[in-house]
Structure 1
Amino acid sequence: MGRAEERRARQRGGRRAAPRNRSSQAAAPESRTESVSSAEGAPQAAVGGRVAARRGAPKGGKGAKGEKGRIRRLFTWKKMLGTFLGFTVLVIGAFIILYMTTPIPDTANAEAELQSNVYKYSDGTMLARDGKLNRENVDLAEIDKAVQHTFVAAENKSFYQDAGVDLKGTTRGVLNTLMGKGAQGGSTITQQYVKNYYLTQEQTVTRKLKELVISLKLDREKSKDYILAGYINSSYYGRGAYGIQAAAQAYYRVDADKLSVAQGAYLAALLQAPSQYDWAAASDTGKKLVEQRWNYVLDNMVEEDWLDKSERDAMTFPVPKEPKAAPGQEGQVGYLVKAANAELEKQLVAQGVADNSTEAEAMVGAGGWNITLNVDKKKQKALEASVKDQLTSKLDKKKRPVDGDVQAGAVSVNPKTGAVVAMYGGVNYVEHYTNNATRTDYQPASTFKPVILAAALDQGAVTQDDEKIGANTIYDGTSKRPVVGSDIGFAPENEDDVDYGDVTVQTAMNKSINSVFAQMGVDVGMDKVLKTAGALGMDTADLKAVPAQTLGTMGASPLQMAGVYATLDNHGRQVTPTLIKSAENSAHAVTPADPIGDEVISREAADTVTSVLTGVVDDGTARASVLDNPQRNGQKVAGKTGTSDDNKSAWFTAYTPDLVTAVGLFGESAKPPHPQVTLTGATGTVPGKGRIAGGGFPARIWAAYTFGVASKVSKFDLETDQGAAVQPTITASPSPSASEEPSEEPSTAAPSTKPPKTQTPSQEPTTEEPSEEPTTGEPTTGEPTTGEPTTEPPENPLDPQFGQ
């Protein structure tokens, strides 16, 4: 054998042979190894050993690499591509089957047909049945072309070019439904019409896929005008109006064919959020949003060459007319029905039955609901009677125009269950559309002070002198005293600019001393104060953490404040006032979430605030109206009065162990656009001198109602050793009249939060009748109201001094 042949033999027996399996190696001819010299055999053995080691690796320490190899072989690009293609074919096939088996319905869905909602008291007796569904279809040809375009510009600019669906938006909606995130928008006019008229608002993948299929078919089989007509005739516009004809009458008192482009743009903008954008009931924010939406619609029309720019520039916002209540909604019924509907709509969204508030509102407005409220029939009638007897019967707008500006709102809550047992929304729903019990555009004023104290106690806050804050902590009550420790300067004025000198927190609450609580808010930290307010039930999302908030300058409703005080009454466990007991229709049954939540402040903190607030009733600004009420019969009461800047609102929110009620009086001009005005001078008080304070009419309404419905005398179960409820009060001789000098000399020393520790706390006379303060520190023009002794109330119950 030559050298070349030997080399080839070595290659076959060495490196070239390595990839073969063991059986083939064992069967190799003996002559192959014999022809190799012993010197050359060593390298071959080494090579063979390495190969064998590699082949045996999966059984040894390198098993992980083998596992990775199997995974790589399992997920090859070919297999992944095949799986994707197979899934795609399966989806397409399923869609084709769905498309072939889903016809366009011959009739409208049940929710698009005439039905009524039924409302009942908590005992099952009838409260109301809403009227006929307000719907009247009109031919599209009767609607001005430019008005038609306002709806397209608002909702779906590509309407005339698209195939009836937005695949991207629908896919997003399906995925969000699968993940429980709700809808993110993106539906075309065609899809919205299909959902409103043929299907339901139910949030399921099946419904969304049907919506997609029917929309595609409808776009192929019907004209765009047919679809647009169906859309504007089936959409819900608020005020109980379905369809453009009903909406034109509800908002502008004209038929649909008489709508201007500006009016049409408002109705088109309204569809995004009917309740929020209804001008008559909208907040300032809501009004700004709907005006922005209105401008958006018109700008889109110019962009699409549907409106001349000069014509658009000349347009002004068309303010809608005041709403007319439906028959059967007179008195308090309309307020209760409207509030129940709003709560049900929120629950439908929260429970995923509706995508958003607009869909939920349409579902409720479509009817068919049987709704039982928590409202107690006896308490409801008692609250209405109390407002009438204590306030509205004394108003005479013919003699005193200012009397026509007085609005009252009240909410009563069971603190143990969260049930709203009574609600007063205004003198008459057909006369005053806005529900005063749920409106949030007036300041709660000094009724916010207990929230500051609750935050201090719960956080274990200390004064600037590092003393822990409690009911007996001493603060400087000097009027206009600059707060210490704040980067933002603030020096609020006390009521009538009275200097109280060094006072305890208990006394400061009794007399509602601004300077003390402004400093306390800074001591606690305004961010922590607002956090506590939010936990207790107030809406603080957009509030700035500045010292001025200590005076209650934010907006709040009687419903919110009743929830805050109910949480205090419930020993710190959050109470969410709930109006609806149950609601159901043919497709859904809605059970409200538990109104009683977790502990949001400690029991000791909540109970201490309650203890302190008993002093306001027994020895403070509510004494004349509550303590001396002959119906009280020893009932324990905790509460706080409040009177806002310029006397635009007056409050009394208070509670017994079994019932919490917030009463608010609001100055609202009787003339459109109904701006906020002062209450001063109403009910016969001297114009410019007689404020309507929280300790007056609001407290008297509260007392007449609460003591009238109480079935027993109860006491607070408090876990605290602080406050007026657990400590004896030192009494003194009656205070001097308002014309005399204050008992305390004005403080001229540098601002401080308390005197030296060895100083004995001063105690103001307990028979003094202090007044409420304006919440922004502006000087008041009225006569001082602090001087009437409370041992003998004035003969005239309408006297401006009474119950301030």
Structure 2
Amino acid sequence: MQVVLSRKKTRRIRFLRFMVRSVLLALILSGLFILGLLSYTRMQGPPPIQVPETTVFYGSDGSVIGEEHGGQNRYWIPFDEVSPFVSQATVSIEDRKFYDHFGFDLWRIGGAIVANIKAGSSAQGASTITQQYARNLYLSHEKTWTRKWNELMYSLRLEMNYSKEEILEGYLNTVYYGHGAYGIEAASGFFFDKSAADLSLAEAAMLAGVPKGPSYYSPVIDYDRAKARQELILSSMVENGYITKDEADTAKAEELIFVQAADADTEIIAPYFQDVVTNQLTSILDVTEDELATAGYHIYTTLDPSMQKVAEHWVDQEMPDTDLQTSLVAIDPRSGGVRAMVGGVDYAESSYNRATQSKREPGSTIKPLLYYEALQHGFTAASTFVSEPTEFTFDEGRQTYSPRNFNQHYANDFITMQQALAVSDNIFAIKTHLFIGPDKLVDIAETLGLGTFKDVPSLALGSQAVSLLDLTNSYVPFANEGLYGEPQFIVKVEDSDGEILYEQEPGLTEALDPVSSFLMTEMMTGMFDPALNGYTSVTGSSVVPLLHRPVAGKSGSTPNDSWMVGFTPQLVTGVWVGHDKGQKLDQYAEGPISKKIWANFTEQALEGQLKLPFHVPQDVVQVEVHPESGLLANESCPGGVPMFFKAGTEPTSACASPEEEKKMEDAKHEKERFIDRFKKWFGGQDDH
């Protein structure tokens, strides 16, 4: 009997020794495993933290004009800029032991395993904030053991390489709050129209409850359910020592005001303009449009939101409810920055940008470039040609060209270049073009970014297609003392950390002679000066009552197009009106629309700004000139208009009345007869 008891005792001792040794071995192996796992995750280094962030477009005044987010509306905000109530509420409801564990909670995992075994599935989760952050960054949301293992590994890597504050910052900026809002900043803006920095305790607790089930706990979907969860979170914050019970009770009683989804969405301002910026940046930064939209860039542009609204207002006001289309571009001549852009009547119906993508024949708006070249080659504002029906020959006499004036109106007499521009005389333009040489217009067009033109007579009447943006920008040197550069849309681009990725350098250089540029500008004021009316009216007479500041410009038309490009010292604006598919314009009903949009926009866009005159360079003189003859006006020949000239090129002969001209002609003939008689008498010649 004693032997049997001794054997049983010996077996129990052996079993206990085995169990102790097994436990010790398991502990050693577990320790080695954990040590190896931690060493492995540490050696792997920090996992890359790259999440889609909303790219934001800013206007010249710093306001937001648009956003791109590729389906995930997110703005990264530093941890110390988030209301502390947000992190306290989130930790209280999602992971109370967040500051004590290494990325996972063994007790929660154990409980979840038991619950899942009982349920026969992996439906129950036990994810910490770190694990959720890892899942948001790198993994799917499928409930499998493989995903759980990978989630654990990423969580360890995060914990081994980042601080708790950095992990919580990442979680708050990546978690989904529903309604397309990713991250606390986007959610705060969506629900409360404010930054996460300004959230109250009640608001923070409400938002902290949403990620558990964005469609289930959203207060704009089911307020009662969301309110119950908010109160649970506030009570949990009291238990964790973050707030007092009185603070929780006050927050529970606070009335929350939610903005509607439509109000929370950022208004898209100038979509045609933003498309141009996006296209340029994909090339400059060498990224795709999707990458640009989700990179979290801050794109600062030249657009003036107030001017853009004025432009859109007058397009809406003046355009008829037909298929007629329009485009508008406004440029600051002092910097080259595009301040406003309209690419069509309705972006929602057509994103085709008629300001940049469409090329049409500019008609008479090309004439200022031609006359600038004429000024450079000996012409003045008082230079004259006869305005009459004319057939021109070119190509060494093999071809003819017979242009016509609008409505077949001709002076049938001499007119000055200033008047010819004001009334848009086509015959004068062709004569000037052929006199100075067609290559001159070709050269200046290329200099001012209009492309390579064909050397033909009709070029003087705008027969080669251009875009509205390029045409408008070609007028910049006239408004800015000869300075020219490519039109600018982007000021700078910063990444989500504030590092500058691209910054536009000033690009204006002297392209035209400042004196001739000013003389050309003064000639372009003539289209608004009734004193230059002659055989027909100046082309800007219909909008003169709308204008109350010094302006210059040129209109133009073709059978299919109506143009107006004009400027002040502060703004150069071009407007085009026409049909997309070549349908002819009604010149009387539809033709004037471009001028009306331009005049109304120019006045309202510059409202409140100084009414600046154009800068007069040195070596420029002003005299009163008779607009038809090009001679100095006087009492005998009234109706003179002020014209500017480079010193030394102004007319010196006075204009005479018809009676005086007859007397002068008779005196000339009498003098010629006296000289003939004197020659005959002195030479002994007879009358035969």
Cα deviations across residues 98-133 of structure 1 (Å, max 9, x unaligned)?
A: xxxxxxx999995xx644321111111111112425
CA distance in 1, matches of 2:623, 2:289: 49
Aligned letter for 1:609? M
User: Aligned runs of 1:541-556 on 2, under 5 Å?
Assistant: 541=452, 543-556=453-466
In 2 relative to 1, CA 331–504 (structure 1 residues): closer, same or farther, beyond 3 Å? Answer: farther
In 2 relative to 1, CA 367–573 (structure 1 residues): closer, same or farther, beyond 3 Å? Answer: same
Aligned to 2:149: none
Aligned to 2:385: 475
Aligned to 1:713: 611
C-alpha deviation, 1:594, in angstroms: 1.5
In 2 relative to 1, CA 329–701 (structure 1 residues): closer, same or farther, beyond 3 Å? Answer: farther
In 2 relative to 1, CA 120–336 (structure 1 residues): closer, same or farther, beyond 3 Å? Answer: same
- Contact preservation (8 Å) 2:418, 2:627: no
Please, what TM-score do these two structures have when normalized by structure 1?
Answer: 0.45
- Contact preservation (8 Å) 1:503, 1:762: no
In 2 relative to 1, CA 594–503 (structure 1 residues): closer, same or farther, beyond 3 Å? Answer: same
> Of residues 471, 482, 496 in structure 1, which corresponds to 2:407?
496
Aligned to 1:519: 431
SS at match of 1:441: coil
- Contact preservation (8 Å) 1:411, 1:558: yes
C-alpha deviation, 1:504, in angstroms: 1.1
> Of residues 401, 407, 410 in structure 1, which corresponds to 2:325?
407
> Of residues 466, 477, 492 in structure 2, which corresponds to 1:582?
492
CA root-mean-square deviation: 3.7
| Structure 2: segments with no counterpart, 5+ residues | 1-44, 73-263, 531-536, 630-651, 659-688
Cα deviations across residues 35-78 of structure 1 (Å, max 9, x unaligned)?
A: xxxxxxxxxxxxxxxxxxxxxxxxxxxxxxxxxxxxxxxxxxxx
- Contact preservation (8 Å) 1:611, 1:718: no
- Contact preservation (8 Å) 1:410, 1:663: yes
Aligned to 1:651: 563
Aligned to 1:601: 512
CA distance in 2, matches of 1:606, 1:758: 26
CA distance in 1, matches of 2:381, 2:49: 62
Aligned to 1:704: 600
Aligned to 2:272: 335
SS at match of 1:476: strand
C-alpha deviation, 1:411, in angstroms: 0.9
SS at match of 2:491: strand
Alignment of 1:388 with 2:316, yes or no, is yes
C-alpha deviation, 1:329, in angstroms: 9.7
Aligned to 2:504: 592
Aligned letter for 1:529? L
Please, what TM-score do these two structures have when normalized by structure 2?
Answer: 0.52
- Contact preservation (8 Å) 1:414, 1:420: yes
Aligned to 2:543: 626
In 2 relative to 1, CA 419–532 (structure 1 residues): closer, same or farther, beyond 3 Å? Answer: same
Aligned letter for 2:406? E
Aligned letter for 1:552? G
In 2 relative to 1, CA 485–572 (structure 1 residues): closer, same or farther, beyond 3 Å? Answer: farther
In 2 relative to 1, CA 525–691 (structure 1 residues): closer, same or farther, beyond 3 Å? Answer: farther
Aligned letter for 1:382? V
- Contact preservation (8 Å) 1:477, 1:513: yes
Aligned to 2:370: 452
SS at match of 2:400: coil
CA distance in 2, matches of 1:107, 1:534: 53
CA distance in 2, matches of 1:554, 1:106: 59
Aligned to 2:553: 639
Cα deviations across residues 692-719 of structure 1 (Å, max 9, x unaligned)?
A: 33xx221111111111232221111123
Aligned to 2:61: 123
C-alpha deviation, 1:520, in angstroms: 1.5
Cα deviations across residues 311-361 of structure 1 (Å, max 9, x unaligned)?
A: xxxxxxxxxxxxxxxx97987532121011123345x1xxxx53xxxx565
Instruction: Kindly indicate which of the two structures has a greater share of residues assigned to strand.
Output: 2
- Contact preservation (8 Å) 1:442, 1:555: yes
C-alpha deviation, 1:437, in angstroms: 2.1
C-alpha deviation, 1:486, in angstroms: 6.3
In 2 relative to 1, CA 529–362 (structure 1 residues): closer, same or farther, beyond 3 Å? Answer: farther
> Of residues 568, 582, 587 in structure 2, which corresponds to 1:676?
582
CA distance in 1, matches of 2:656, 2:384: 7
CA distance in 2, matches of 1:442, 1:499: 27
CA distance in 1, matches of 2:620, 2:602: 26
SS at match of 1:432: coil
In 2 relative to 1, CA 416–483 (structure 1 residues): closer, same or farther, beyond 3 Å? Answer: farther
C-alpha deviation, 1:565, in angstroms: 1.0
- Contact preservation (8 Å) 1:577, 1:595: no
- Runs of 4+ residues over 4 Å off in structure 1: 105-110, 327-332, 359-363, 483-488, 720-723, 725-732, 757-763
SS at match of 1:118: strand
In 2 relative to 1, CA 549–367 (structure 1 residues): closer, same or farther, beyond 3 Å? Answer: farther
CA distance in 1, matches of 2:625, 2:269: 43
SS at match of 1:628: helix
In 2 relative to 1, CA 479–595 (structure 1 residues): closer, same or farther, beyond 3 Å? Answer: farther
In 2 relative to 1, CA 524–593 (structure 1 residues): closer, same or farther, beyond 3 Å? Answer: farther
> Of residues 266, 288, 300 in structure 2, which corresponds to 1:372?
300
Identity, % of aligned positions: 24
Give the aligned length: 393
In 2 relative to 1, CA 759–422 (structure 1 residues): closer, same or farther, beyond 3 Å? Answer: same
- Contact preservation (8 Å) 2:55, 2:298: yes
Alignment of 1:662 with 2:574, yes or no, is yes
C-alpha deviation, 1:727, in angstroms: 4.3
C-alpha deviation, 1:524, in angstroms: 2.4
CA distance in 2, matches of 1:109, 1:374: 32
Cα deviations across residues 717-745 of structure 1 (Å, max 9, x unaligned)?
A: 1238889x86467699xxxxxxxxxxxxx
In 2 relative to 1, CA 528–431 (structure 1 residues): closer, same or farther, beyond 3 Å? Answer: same
Cα deviations across residues 628-673 of structure 1 (Å, max 9, x unaligned)?
A: 22xx33x1111000011x2x110111111111111111212xxxxx
> Of residues 401, 412, 424 in structure 1, which corresponds to 2:342?
424
CA distance in 2, matches of 1:593, 1:666: 35
SS at match of 1:471: coil
User: Aligned runs of 1:145-544 on 2, under 5 Å?
Assistant: 333-346=270-283, 348=284, 353-354=285-286, 364=292, 367-389=295-317, 391-392=318-319, 395-396=320-321, 403-404=322-323, 406-458=324-376, 460=377, 468-482=378-392, 489-501=400-412, 502-538=414-450, 540-541=451-452, 543-544=453-454
Aligned to 1:751: none
CA distance in 2, matches of 1:593, 1:519: 41
- Contact preservation (8 Å) 2:66, 2:269: no
- Contact preservation (8 Å) 2:330, 2:339: yes
Aligned to 1:158: none
Aligned letter for 1:472? A
In 2 relative to 1, CA 504–446 (structure 1 residues): closer, same or farther, beyond 3 Å? Answer: same
Aligned to 2:207: none
- Contact preservation (8 Å) 1:616, 1:639: yes
C-alpha deviation, 1:625, in angstroms: 3.5
C-alpha deviation, 1:574, in angstroms: 0.9
User: Aligned runs of 1:732-747 on 2, under 5 Å?
Assistant: none
- Contact preservation (8 Å) 1:611, 1:726: no
C-alpha deviation, 1:593, in angstroms: 2.9
Cα deviations across residues 433-472 of structure 1 (Å, max 9, x unaligned)?
A: 11122233211111100011112223x2xxxxxxx32211
Aligned to 2:100: none
CA distance in 1, matches of 2:582, 2:294: 35
| Structure 1: segments with no counterpart, 5+ residues | 1-104, 135-326, 397-402, 461-467, 669-674, 681-688, 733-756, 764-804
C-alpha deviation, 1:382, in angstroms: 1.4
